[in-house]
A and B are shown apart, each in its own frame.
Chain A
Amino acid sequence: MNDQRPGFSVTTIAWAVIIFLQIPVIVVVLASFSETTYLTIPPQGLTLKWFEAVLTDTTYLTAIRNSLLLALGSTLISLVLGVAASYALFRKMLPGTEVLTSLLMSPLIVPSVVIGVALLQYFTLVGLRGGFLVLLIAHVVITVPYIVRSALASLSGIDLSVEEAARVLGANGLTTFRLITLPLIKPGLVAGALFAFVTSMENVPVTIFLAGPRQTTLPILIFTSVEMGVDPSVAAVSTMLIIATVAALFVAERWTGFHRFV
């Protein structure tokens, strides 16, 4: 009974939409190689000069460095804090599991721009505004829900008895976690860490209110420079980001086969 396949019109529309989804990405990549400032189809000449411009521009390089540091730092901190909290939640070590889980996930519900202005106000009041630490804390807040979500999902996928077996065989809580639980939840955690990293790397609404002139991140740089017109070096750095993302996805997939957990 297998003739319930979608009809021709549905399939055509679906494919059209899917192509629609890829168009901006393709356009950006093409524009980064285009000789002219404005992209034409077909491009009027291919060049690498925009890439060269980006790689020699200290503003871009600083922004890239800041973004990477921020994303790496916040992802790592979120992993440590988030996995610990998720474990405590999952093993019901505290009362009010549902409320606490909602609390940990709540940064996802509040509009990013609101989080941004709230933190701006708060840190200005406290006198901490404009430092890297502040940005780091803010990024931990917005990335940790992804870690918590993937940690909770991974934990629910392992058989509780293996932890009990380890305990009976002589392992204490920490050793059990290190040798048994952690290796088993690693693929799911990698997926979550990837989401967290991407979220941090692309964030504008929170970062833009908190970043001082020396902490500009890459997305903010692109965001603000666009107001001055279409500059192909923006396209070039965007293409570099796309390549980096694809490479990271490949590596993560080969390392842990995490596509099952996305």
Chain B
Amino acid sequence: MSNLTLENVVKRYGDMSIVKGVSLNIGDGEFVSLLGPSDCGKTTILRMVAGLNEPSEGTIRIGSTDVTRLAPNKRNIGLVFQSYALFPHLTVFENVAFGLRRKGETGTALETRVNEALTMVRLSGYGERYPRQLSGGQQQRVAMARAIAPRPNVLLFDEPLSNLDAKLRDEMQIELKRLQRSLGITTLFVTHDQAEALSLSDRVCVMHDGIIQQFAAPEDIYRRPATAFVASFIGKPNRLKATVQNGRLVLGQGLGLVSEHPPGAEGENVDLFIRQEAISLSSSDDHRANRIPGIVALRSFSGPQVQYVIRIADGHEFIVQAASSGSGSDLAQGQHVTLEVLPQDVLVLPGAAQP
């Protein structure tokens, strides 16, 4: 068990930089997600940690060992591939045993370890089957058992759940978290699914365009996004432009909002992010709440939620999510409503070009 450190890691292909100077510190036993859209560099980083790509610059350390140029077979790492990459010509048992055999384990000791791993992923008794005889979820679990059996120092996951259907994915997420907790292995998990990242991780590292946008605990990422990209990537926010005047955030037509977050300098143009689920359509007595009148432009019902498009005086449109079992769920098109937003839910970030 060890911690994982990346220092100023850069990866260049020709004159294109995929990873532009990334530094990360992952503690022993910590579960960290690398979250971001495709081509943000997260998979490249994972592969460099595994030793399948070589960094153009920078260092990677596992514990106190510099592994930057070390061959992948000498790093004692576990890697679960997106496609599982199970050996099709070997049984489940032999797949899981592969890493152990490379370490020289044989006989009953080997058997015990393999069965241990299979039990941990709840597949004991499947040893004699072949990968092609297993379902997607079962293959996924064999891939995990294979990765953890040799007791690696670091566990890497490359979008392991993206090939599963939604229900299976939810189940596997829980299993994965339980497994990681009981093993206590330092884990780096790559995904583009933000809900997954937020629910599984001790800390989340949001990446875009080869650099780290924010590296913090899930709640911080959600409530206090550090950049416009993080704010727009996490959740489903409404995004507006405003100007700072007298500490208020002015939209136009005299409409303004108050935020708990630092508004910025006087006269500055800023971007506001308000999550769809943070807007309330029913009146409350909270005097702190921002109130803006508007008209329902569109209503769509999708089962547990109702989605509204609300237009306000200066032409801005807000998308609002309301629970279909609560009040505020049966507003009609054309109806006048009042939008209520608490100042803590008005996220303010410096106005910039679109990320």
**Nearest chain B CB to A176 CB, angstrom units:** 8
Whether, in the assembled complex, A52 has its beta carbon less than 8 Å from a beta carbon of chain B, the answer is no
| Interface of chain B: mostly helix, strand, loop or mixed | loop
Considering only CB atoms and an 8 Å cut-off, how many residues of chain B contact the other chain?
25
Partner of B103, one of A161, A162, A168, A170: A170
* C-alpha spacing A181/B218, complex, angstroms: 42
Partner of B73, one of A159, A169, A183, A184: A169
Per-residue CB contact flags for chain A residues 171-197 toward chain B (1 = under 8 Å, else 0) read 110010000100110000000000000
Partner of B85, one of A165, A170, A184: A165
Whether, in the assembled complex, A57 has its beta carbon less than 8 Å from a beta carbon of chain B, the answer is no
Whether, in the assembled complex, A164 has its beta carbon less than 8 Å from a beta carbon of chain B, the answer is yes
A168 x B87 contact (CB < 8 A): no
B102 x A161 contact (CB < 8 A): no
A169 x B52 contact (CB < 8 A): no
* C-alpha spacing A161/B84, complex, angstroms: 8
Please report which residues of chain A, range 127-181, place their CB below 8 angstroms from some CB of chain B when the two chains form the complex.
159, 161-162, 164-172, 175, 180
Whether, in the assembled complex, B72 has its beta carbon less than 8 Å from a beta carbon of chain A, the answer is yes
* Given A161-B81, A175-B102; A167-B87 close (CB under 8 Å): no
Residues of A within 8 A of B52 (CB): 164, 167-168
**Nearest chain B CB to A203 CB, angstrom units:** 34
Q: In the complex, which residue of chain B has the Cβ closest to the Cβ of A169?
A: B99
B102 x A169 contact (CB < 8 A): yes
* C-alpha spacing A165/B139, complex, angstroms: 14
Residues of A within 8 A of B102 (CB): 169-171, 175
Per-residue CB contact flags for chain B residues 98-120 toward chain A (1 = under 8 Å, else 0) read 11001100000000000000000
* Given A165-B87, A167-B52; A172-B73 close (CB under 8 Å): yes
A172 x B71 contact (CB < 8 A): yes
Residues of A within 8 A of B79 (CB): 164-165, 168
* C-alpha spacing A172/B51, complex, angstroms: 13
* Given A170-B99, A180-B87; A165-B73 close (CB under 8 Å): no
Whether, in the assembled complex, B83 has its beta carbon less than 8 Å from a beta carbon of chain A, the answer is yes
Residues of A within 8 A of B81 (CB): 161, 164-165
* C-alpha spacing A169/B51, complex, angstroms: 12
Partner of A166, one of B51, B75, B76, B98: B98
* C-alpha spacing A168/B83, complex, angstroms: 15
Q: In the complex, which residue of chain B has the Cβ closest to the Cβ of A158?
A: B88
**Nearest chain B CB to A115 CB, angstrom units:** 38
B72 x A184 contact (CB < 8 A): no
A167 x B72 contact (CB < 8 A): yes
Q: In the complex, which residue of chain A has the Cβ closest to the Cβ of B158?
A: A161
B71 x A184 contact (CB < 8 A): no
Q: Show 15 A/B contacts (Cβ-Cβ < 8 Å), sorted by A.
A: A164-B52, A165-B81, A167-B52, A167-B71, A167-B72, A168-B50, A168-B72, A168-B77, A169-B73, A169-B102, A169-B146, A169-B150, A170-B73, A170-B99, A172-B71
Nearest first, the 10 closest Cβ-Cβ pairs linking A and B are: A170-B102, A161-B85, A169-B99, A165-B85, A167-B72, A168-B79, A170-B73, A162-B85, A161-B81, A183-B89
Binding site for B on A (CB under 8 A): 159, 161-162, 164-172, 175, 180, 183-184
Q: A171-B98, A184-B89 are in contact. List 12 more A-B contacts (CB 8 A).
A: A159-B83, A165-B79, A165-B85, A167-B71, A168-B51, A168-B79, A169-B98, A169-B99, A170-B73, A170-B74, A171-B102, A180-B87
